[in-house]
Amino acid sequence: MVNKISRRGFLGSVAAFALTGQAAFAGPPAVSLRPMLRGGDLYKRAVPAADEIISAQKLSGKVAFAVADTASGAWLECENETLGTPPASVTKAITALYALDVLGPSHRFETQIAATGGIVAGEVQGDVLLIGGGDPTLDTDALAQMAAALKAAGVHGVKGRLKVFEGALPVLHQIDPGQPDQVGYNPAVTGIALNFNRVHFEWKRVSGKYQVTMDGRSKKYRPDVTFAAMRIEDRTMPVYTYADQNGRDQWTVARGALGGSGARWLPVRKPALYAGEVFATMAGAHGIALGKPEVISALPQHEVVVRHQSDELRPILQDMLKYSTNLTAEMVGLAASQRRVGQVADLRGSAAQMNRWATAALGMQAPALVDHSGLGDDSALTAIDMARALLAVKDQDFRAILKEFGFRDSNGRPVKDQDIAVDAKTGTLNFVSSLAGYITAKDGREMVFAIFAADAKARAGISRAERESPPGAKTWNRKAKRVQQGLIERWDALYGRKEA
């Protein structure tokens, strides 16, 4: 059974750390630490050195790491530990800690259906409002349930229109403008999201012609949408283009790239229209005609008719860490910042608040994050800061919501009966690979660690069009993961035997 992190317990542990842990790990080692072997440690001399592990994989760029004993906070081995490196999705571990502290593990996000002008004999005299409450997990199934609940509340008609409010959070066109248009992990961010702000594009070739659909599918439903449209064009490159055209997401795709049939998720740039259109479809199935949605920037006087609450925050964050969902990270990070300091303008402003919090609450010394997901190129963390953060919450069961990191053999197959337990957050960008978490060695000794690898030169040479799958990136990232596993195995061999 997983214990929850209470906000009071979290803050209490941080206070205790500040009082008792400073001497152990408040600052980095004066010099990079390397193991000092004694006469009785001769068997450890066969363990490959860190630089041998890295050079064996021919991994270009730089590797930074820090590993510490969890119980004492003593640093065991560090290299390039104060080098600022893009942390990629390891950022989400900091975001999770931030949200747990500021919002609390039992926090729920609420999406509402409301009416203006009152309801007379089942008819809304004004408009129906769909009010986003920052829920990153809202899906089509949930909107279908809300439409059914509106019908069950006695509503059967509307004199006005359907209006959608997305202003509970800043309205942002995308997470990182440097990403290719078509990548589903870089959608718009607003106070309302549907299906992680992705729309499903599917194509089939029938009698030499392509049939194209765009829908907002979930487990139970597949409603077609018109806020986003796809046009097939006779070209080879680019594969996709995007334009904000006539108030909708207008996509084109190269005919030569389609083949016979296929599907993919595309990012949504107009989340309010997407959610509104899908809700109108679901309400129409219950005989409630709502028409095309309109986006509003301010809420009028209204009466809430239906409320839909998300799961508690803790399991939402556990899924975020498992599946590395960028949108969830950005929405919960923004929500935490607004709870902490009030309105924030954008992701950089919110991340700056998280950096300040991390310095005060986790003892980090130089966090420089520009978003909450790690997608942005300008973010930087040091390995020692990341390990320091994990030490600060070592007694708060944060490890329980991290994902198990599985080893692979020399042929790339998963290792069965792995005897070193690793729970960590991974991070992957092109020519960037990061891993940070907790290790339980074979003998039961627990360690915290962070490993950041990056080839800045190779990454800088990638054009925007190539960033979905640049040449050499997959091979580099596979090598980086082998280095990560090699370092963990090294630490188990060197430090897994406790001193008598």
Question: What does 15-32 look like in DSSP terms, one character per residue?
Answer: HHHHHHTHHHHSS--SS-
Beta bridge partners of 78: 66
Rounded to an integer, the average pLDDT of 122-141 is 98
pLDDT classification of 13: cutoffs 50, 70, 90: very low
Burial environment of residue 247 by CB neighbours within 10 A (0 to 12, 13 to 18, 19 or more): exposed
In terms of pLDDT, which residue wins out, 142 or 12?
A: 142
pLDDT, residue 38, reads 58
**Which H or E run includes 421?**
strand 421-429
CATH 3.50.80.20 fits 109-310, yes or no: yes
pLDDT, residue 223, reads 98
Q: What interhelical angle do 271-284 and 140-152 show, nearest 10?
A: 50
Using CA atoms, how far residue 350 sits from 48, 73, 142, 159, 169, in Å, is 42, 30, 28, 40, 11
pLDDT > 70 in the chain, percent: 91
* Spatial CA neighbour of 268 closest among 459, 112, 140: 140
Assess contact for 486 and 48: CB atoms under 8 A.
Answer: yes
Distance CA 297, CA 134 (A): 15
Residues of the chain with CATH 3.50.80.20: 109-310
**What's the pTM?**
0.92
Assess contact for 392 and 349: CB atoms under 8 A.
Answer: no
Rounded to an integer, the average pLDDT of 439-460 is 96
Rounded to an integer, the average pLDDT of 301-329 is 98
Joined tokens for residue 437: 């978490």
pLDDT, residue 34, reads 66
Query: Among 8-17, 73-82, 130-139, which is the least confidently predicted range?
Result: 8-17
pLDDT > 90 in the chain, percent: 85
pLDDT classification of 15: cutoffs 50, 70, 90: very low
pLDDT classification of 11: cutoffs 50, 70, 90: very low
pLDDT, residue 35, reads 64
Assess contact for 387 and 436: CB atoms under 8 A.
Answer: yes
CATH 3.40.710.10 fits 7-105+355-495, yes or no: yes
pLDDT classification of 214: cutoffs 50, 70, 90: very high
Assess contact for 77 and 33: CB atoms under 8 A.
Answer: yes
Q: Answer yes or no: is pLDDT of 5 > 50.
A: no
Rounded to an integer, the average pLDDT of 464-483 is 93
